[in-house]
Amino acid sequence: MGDALAIIRYTLTSAFGRGLAAHRAGLMSGRSMLIPHTLGDGTACTIGRVAGLEGVVMPAALARYDCRNNRLARLALDTDGFAQAVDATARRLGAERIGVVVGTSTSGIAATEAAYRAPVFQGRGALPVDFPYRETHNVFSCGDFVRRYLGVKGPALVVSTACSSSAKAFATGARLIASGACRAVVVGGVDSLCDTTLYGFHALNLLSRTYPRPFDVDRDGIAIGEAAGFALLAPAGDLGESRGLRLVATGDSADAYHMTAPHPEARGACAALEATLTSAGWRPDTVDYVHLHGTGTAHNDAAEDLALIRTGLGAVPASSTKGAIGHTLGAAGMCGVVLTAEAMAAGFLPGTVATRSPDPRFRSRLLLSGEPGVIRRALVNTFGFGGSNCCLALEWRP
């Protein structure tokens, strides 16, 4: 990656609430926003739900895009002045020079679940004839909705690589700018709650029965959350931005070791971290903070701890925020970026909510509680199913 890119405007909506102020307050409170949930078979778990989605009304011209995922996207786009910032940038650079890259894993699959349950359902393989599959369930649905809603006309695509989706969206957005295809890119991460995800992780025995406790000796799995976040990415010089958040480097890897388990020697995670540090030109001891992928599953936590040690990052303060808002899957990278940015702006090192007794086998420096601290350089980890990994290097310029 060449020169650092400015992240001109960003926003996030999750179980913490809507907007940056809610997320900064939630981060510093050390509270978990997860709520109890019961699956159809009686299994107890917790989820991170965004309040108020049921009341979101889609614009009439985009009514066919109405689904929980796109409602969540609209809620976020209308927050923190994000849509207005994109509009101002489009008038300055030209709408055709602004691209859209969105990461998601669920898309609008909840709409399909509802269609199968509807009284008009005709049986196996026969959804209602007027079911808007292209505008809801299709994986491109959210990217298409975002570009239409914002009125931008550059390249638009969706990245769907499980938990690394929105982190890889940043990498893809940076490449679109570097190639000259775009002068600015709206990068997003949107994933919403649906039964397919909840029952899928339940079938894998990965759902926590209580609260996720990443890196804890008694950790028992994850909690699924939903979130939508967006960032406007552009060369700093183009828009006169000399301060604030920068995307310095990205690092991808794909070890393909197993469909759901990370490589036991953390080869994929190490490759992503090493590529990021090399691209950024950073030594490990110059990094101030690592936002962990930190899911709370036995294999992922062990692999991430090993990766930090092997890449020289074991002494760097690190924490996971999944005990607070849940694992937002395809939006996890975006959540990591925005929560880290808010921690940088507040001069605060976040703790790992709900974790109390770190696994004694782990050697990395896990923060249990939040504390004051300056973060200038940070890494955001996302390590997905299938060995799809991505790490982002962020810098804060006060």
CB 162 within 8 A of CB 329: yes
| Residue of 137, 202, 291, 327 marked catalytic | 327
What would the two tokens of residue 327 be? Answer: 């694992």
Q: In the annotation, is 182 catalytic?
A: no
Rounded to whole angstroms, the Cα distance separating 303 from 305 reads 5
Provide the b/e sequence for 1-30 (b: ≥16 CB within 10 Å): beebbbbbbbbbbbbbbbbbebbbebbeeb
| Residue of 45, 67, 142, 163 marked catalytic | 163
Q: In the annotation, is 299 catalytic?
A: no
Q: In the annotation, is 291 catalytic?
A: no
Residue 207 CB contacts under 8 Å (≥ 6 apart), including other chains: 43, 45, 198, 201, 221, 222, 223, 224
Q: Is 63 exposed, middle or buried (0-12, 13-18, 19+ CB in 10 A)?
A: exposed
CB 136 within 8 A of CB 104: no
Rounded to whole angstroms, the Cα distance separating 13 from 313 reads 30
Task: Report CA-CA distances (Å) from 88 to 84, 313, 316.
Answer: 6, 40, 39
| Residue of 291, 293, 335, 390 marked catalytic | 293
Active site residues: 163, 293, 327
